[in-house]
Amino acid sequence: MDQFLQQLVNGLTLGSLYALIAVGYTVVYGIVQLINFAHGEVFMIGAFGALTTYLLFFNGETSVWILPVMIVGAMLASVSTAVLMERVAYRPLRNAPRLAPLITAIGISVFLQEFIRLFYERPAWTVVVFAGLAIAAGYVAGNRQTEANLDHPVSKWHDRAPLLGGAAGAVALWIVVLLISTDLSALYVVVAIVGGALVGTAVGMTAGEATKSHARVRVGVRAVAVSAGVAAVTAEVGWILFKVLINKVEWPSAKARIPFPQLDVVTGKALQVGGVTIQRSAIFTVAALAVCAVLLWFFINRTRLGRGMQAVSQDPDTARLMGINVDRIIVVAFALGAVLASIAGVSQGLQNNNIDFRMGFLAGLKAFTAAVLGGIGNVYGAVVGGLVLGVVEAMATQYIPGQFGGSTWKDVWAFVILILVLVFRPQGLLGARVVDRA
């Protein structure tokens, strides 16, 4: 009996991990009918985001109060990756044949794996990120100074040219200053900010003049100046963070497994309940799933955004006619899945004591299996499917006799379940209920 209970605990722990990732698959599918096979890498990025947060701010410490900050860092990394993925890769293919976004998802998956493998130990790439963030921040700040709509489908890039030009001009001067000197002296900081604002304003106004024949709106010099100034300040702040914080850390190579921080309370000596051993990290994983499931239910059924997700999942065209911003709902769906995946990434690191750049591939496939098992497109089905899959894996490892048993065959049995479900009950255990797909 103790053996059965032990395997049940192991299965529920593993299943909770699968369920957290599987919700991301099913939420996105429920909204845009897309299987995001890069979601496993969002889970991986979350684990590396948590590790990065620890190395930057808490290296060597073990207090349990570090965990919430690590989770926030993981969420920021995963959500940023998922939202950028949707905006750059999936949105342009929204009306393309189904095969196009599927192939794109596989390409993104490989790209993210290789990016972490090659560049995690080389933080210089963050300077490029800060440059991009500076341009984005400048554009957003400048846009707030205008009352005109810059999103017209025909002329939007011509309308935005002054603001983008202003921000890009400021960042260009910032790059020139860095090429001259990388010091953080007050003189260079002032030159980068003031000079960037002036040069950016000039570039932005020039870009506005060059595109005014095709633009529908006229952007004023004040908005361009704000765009350039904010971009210059953001870029310089990014460089200060890089020099003072990021460049001071000894970043480990991601080409091998990286030890994950072990924290008090959630890791350490296992608990013994009768004849059953329960790891502390397993309690955290199951508790995280329970809390996330309750919050997810509340979000979907009791908030305006959640009801909007349900409406878009049923009929996006009608939802758009009713005033729902469908693009915003899709971004929220990607971000919601990324939040849960990031928590799963932290859980995996705490359980295995290490992470690596390939950890998202198999976990993503297992989570996809869980989503199909529960009913792809059904959020509650994803949770049930993850738990069932975890328990089946654990029981198969223990109780299938002969050469087909043991831990080496657990992945095989997981995908056997996927095949059987697709053949005999393709709608999953709970069925893909259209009304509840969100």
Q: How far is 424 from 152, CA to CA, in rounded Å?
A: 48
Task: Note the pLDDT of residue 189.
Answer: 87
Q: How far is 289 from 18, CA to CA, in rounded Å?
A: 10
Contact by Cβ (8 Å): 134, 234: yes
Same domain, 267 and 240: no
DSSP string, 89-146: IIGGGTTS-THHHHHHHHHHHHHHHHHHHHHTT-TTHHHHHHHHHHHHHHHHHHHHT-
Question: Reduced to 3 states, what is the DSSP secondary structure of residue 351?
Answer: helix
Task: Please count the CA atoms within 13 angstroms of the CA of 131 that sit on its side-chain side.
Answer: 15
Same domain, 94 and 25: yes
Give the contacts of 400 (CB within 8 A, at least 6 positions apart): 409, 413
Give the contacts of 2 (CB within 8 A, at least 6 positions apart): 274, 275, 276
Q: How far is 130 from 136, CA to CA, in rounded Å?
A: 10
Q: How far is 255 from 390, CA to CA, in rounded Å?
A: 28
Q: How far is 234 from 111, CA to CA, in rounded Å?
A: 28
Task: Note the pLDDT of residue 433.
Answer: 46
What are the percentages of helix, strand and coil residues in the chain, rounded to 5? 75, 0, 25
Same domain, 113 and 137: no
| Structural tokens at position 130 | 């800060």
Same domain, 243 and 283: no
**Is residue 341, in this structure, part of any structural domain at all?**
yes
| Domain's final residue, options 218, 248, 278 | 248
Task: Note the pLDDT of residue 402.
Answer: 66
* pLDDT tens series, the chain, 438 aa: 788 899 999 999 999 999 999 999 999 998 988 889 999 999 999 999 999 999 999 998 999 999 999 999 999 999 999 999 999 999 999 888 888 999 999 999 999 999 999 999 999 999 999 999 999 999 999 999 987 888 888 889 999 999 999 999 999 999 998 888 887 778 888 888 999 999 999 999 999 999 988 899 889 999 999 999 999 999 999 999 999 999 999 999 999 999 999 999 999 899 988 889 999 999 999 999 999 999 999 999 999 999 999 999 989 999 999 999 999 999 999 999 999 999 999 999 999 999 999 999 999 999 999 999 998 888 889 999 999 999 988 888 888 876 776 777 888 888 888 888 888 888 888 864 444 444
> For residue 253, what is the DSSP state?
P
Same domain, 314 and 389: yes
**Is residue 193, in this structure, part of any structural domain at all?**
yes
Contact by Cβ (8 Å): 138, 230: yes
Task: Note the pLDDT of residue 407.
Answer: 74
Task: Please count the CA atoms within 13 angstroms of the CA of 196 that sit on its side-chain side.
Answer: 32
**Which structural domain range is residue 97 located in?**
1-118+260-438
| Domain's final residue, options 223, 248, 273 | 248
**Is residue 254, in this structure, part of any structural domain at all?**
no
Domain count, the chain: 2
**Is residue 253, in this structure, part of any structural domain at all?**
no
